[in-house]
Amino acid sequence: MISLTSVSVELTTAFFIVLLLVGPMFLWLRKLESRPKNLPPVIKIAEAELFKRPREAYETALGKYGPVIAVKRKGRVEYIVDSSLTHQVLTTNHLFSFEEGTAFILNLYYFKKLFTAFFVDIDDLVHNVIAARMPLVVEQVFPVFMKHASNLFDELHCLREDAQETRYVHGLDHTHKSISEAMALIILGPDFVNPTNLLAVEKVAHDIAVVTGLYQNTSWWGTNYPDVWRLFTWSVLVHYWDSRLQIWRKLRKETYDSDIATDSPEQFKGSVLDFLGCKFTNRTSGRIGFSAYLRITALVLGIVFASVHQTASVAVWVLYELAMRPEYQSALHEELFDICGVACSVDNANVSYESLQKAARLDSFIREVLRTKGDTLSTCRLTTASVPIGGYVIPKGFLVIPLASLSHMSTQYHGPDAEKFDGARWVGTGKQAVTVNHTYFPFGLGRWACPGRALAVAEIKMIVWGIICCSKPILKGGMYTVPDPLNVTSVAPSGEMTLVPFNYIA
């Protein structure tokens, strides 16, 4: 006789078996039904083409299938748009999120979950504490750039009688060290400027670049096993306890006035760290709590990375392009002399932020380098909903990236000679290196255009002026190579340079 209990058990078991078999299929069908219709075409591009010839590969695909295409890269689908949709993608913030897109592409998803206001805080800090007081910043850091340029010239002077052969250095070594010291002075204050801390600043900037995937395209593991690579690279940040302890000791030792951070931040005379101490101090005790310390440390690391690594890489592009184009060196040297009265000496410079702004030829040269250096996938957003665009619908939660080369090298935007490098192209046009629009956006566009671009360009100008004040840069073999054509903004060109006296003919 079959008991009701056994029948109940069998029916229950059968129900769960059916549920396990049918449930996933049902959920998959529901998900399939909810997917937006009219998705952009998925274009298969060989990996070798993506990483070695990205401009040609993406431009060809967009020309044939555009204005929106989907391409799988590093294990994920990305949507690429042509220049007709650039402005829409980069300025429609409620549909295309800068914060979500940047956190996603830089492997900072969980970091942003922990520090939800990170990007807003960084933007506010750079706008109100650094960019708003550029005259003071330039006054503080210009001697640093001139010192490093003078030391480099002495090191590389190839006309000394005892020199057996010409010496060369990687340009990134010079720009990284110069900017690291300058930003340590601005961000952390003069008390932190010593060889040990400066080395830590350099390493932090480099290692965050590794963690955020900026060197991923040059790694076999990074391109073939991206998830494993992302997990492994986060381990590099455990090495900087000493620097973080120094920050903690300073914040705990001082008593801060919270009113200073709200009254007139642009008038604040101390370091960025001091300002953050004022901003996040407890109004009752005047002390910094542990959670505030974590937030301050995250902001300090973020500014160090953005201001050191990115600017140092771009500065190498400018130096190497200048070395490749000696016809511009004399003109920029003359402009420096006309503005500052400097004649082959690093000791007589009277440089202010106003002086840097007067350097129209140098500014034009920098803008032209940024326009032509080969940007492709440089500025991204993440969809916050399913978005109709270009006759298609891009689903929610996907990266959308305008192909920068279609704007930067467009004959429609820049004339029939758009492919030609013309360092004087922008003189007298009113378009500075920091002026962005949909035809030129190396610093992004819209609400989230880089708030520190004025500082970045000023630092590049100071680096160039330090070099051409008394010397000419020359590249070994007369050329450089591009290690990562897909990420030229964050990965500097590879090559070695030397310096010769300005009156020396190589």
pLDDT digits (tens, 9 = 90+) for 417-473: 999 999 999 999 999 999 999 999 999 999 999 999 999 999 999 999 999 988 899
pTM assigned to the model: 0.86
Q: How many CB atoms lie within 10 A of CB 348?
A: 11
299's tokens: 């902001």
With 60 as the cut, is the pLDDT of residue 372 above it?
Answer: yes
Residue 450 is labelled as binding a ligand = yes
β-strand partners of 401: 80
Segments making up each domain of the chain, as ranges: 36-107+376-408
Residue 87 makes CB contacts below 8 A (sequence gap 6+) with 438, 445
Please give the pLDDT value at position 457. 97
At CB < 8 A and 24+ separation, what contacts does 242-248 make? 242/200, 243/197, 243/200, 243/201, 243/204, 244/297, 246/192, 246/197, 247/188, 247/273, 247/293, 247/296, 247/297, 247/300, 248/293
Per-residue exposure over 173-197, b if at least 16 CB sit within 10 Å of its own CB, e if not:
ebbbbbbbbbbbbbbbeeebbeeeb
CA pair distance 48, 55, nearest whole angstrom: 12
For the ranges 184-188, 210-214, 239-243, 462-466, the maximum mean pLDDT occurs at 462-466
When pLDDT is cut at 50, 70 and 90, the band that residue 228 belongs to is low
8-state DSSP, 487: -
Per-residue exposure over 205-235, b if at least 16 CB sit within 10 Å of its own CB, e if not:
bbbbbbbbbbbbbeeeebbeebeebbeebee
When pLDDT is cut at 50, 70 and 90, the band that residue 142 belongs to is very high
Per-residue exposure over 271-285, b if at least 16 CB sit within 10 Å of its own CB, e if not:
bbbbbbbbbbbeeee
330's tokens: 């004399």
Q: Which residue has the higher pLDDT, 170 or 192?
A: 170
| Amino acid (one-letter) located at 337 | F
With 70 as the cut, is the pLDDT of residue 2 above it?
Answer: no
Mean pLDDT of 358-376: 97
Please give the pLDDT value at position 155. 84
Count the alpha carbons within 13 Å of 436 in the hemisphere toward its beta carbon. Answer: 23
CA pair distance 458, 436, nearest whole angstrom: 16
8-state DSSP, 169: E
Query: What Rg value do the Cα atoms of the chain yield, rounded?
Result: 26
CATH code of domain 36-107+376-408: 3.30.43.20
Contact 284, 257 (CB under 8 A): no
Q: Which residue has the higher pLDDT, 330 or 109?
A: 330
Summarize pLDDT for 281-314 with one digit per residue, the tens: 887 777 788 888 888 888 888 888 888 889 999 9
Mean pLDDT of 232-261: 66
Count of residues making up the chain: 506
Please give the pLDDT value at position 307. 85
CA pair distance 235, 231, nearest whole angstrom: 8
**Collapsing DSSP states into helix, strand and coil, what is residue 407?**
helix
Residue ranges of alpha helices (H) inside 35-70 are 47-52, 54-65
CA pair distance 378, 403, nearest whole angstrom: 8
Mean pLDDT of 49-77: 93
Angle at 221 between CA 380 and CA 402, to 5 degrees: 15
β-strand partners of 79: 70, 400
CA pair distance 356, 363, nearest whole angstrom: 9
276 phi/psi in degrees, rounded to 5: -65, -35
**Collapsing DSSP states into helix, strand and coil, what is residue 42?**
strand
Distances in whole angstroms, Cα of residue 263 to Cα of each of 136, 271, 285? 18, 16, 19
Please give the pLDDT value at position 105. 86
Of all helices (H) and strands (E), which one includes residue 360? helix 360-372
Percentage of the chain modeled with pLDDT above 70: 80
- Among 41-45, 88-92, 338-342, 348-352, which is the least confidently predicted range? 348-352
Summarize pLDDT for 23-61 with one digit per residue, the tens: 566 555 444 445 667 999 999 999 889 989 999 999 999
When pLDDT is cut at 50, 70 and 90, the band that residue 215 belongs to is low
**Collapsing DSSP states into helix, strand and coil, what is residue 462?**
helix
When pLDDT is cut at 50, 70 and 90, the band that residue 501 belongs to is confident
Mean pLDDT of 205-225: 65
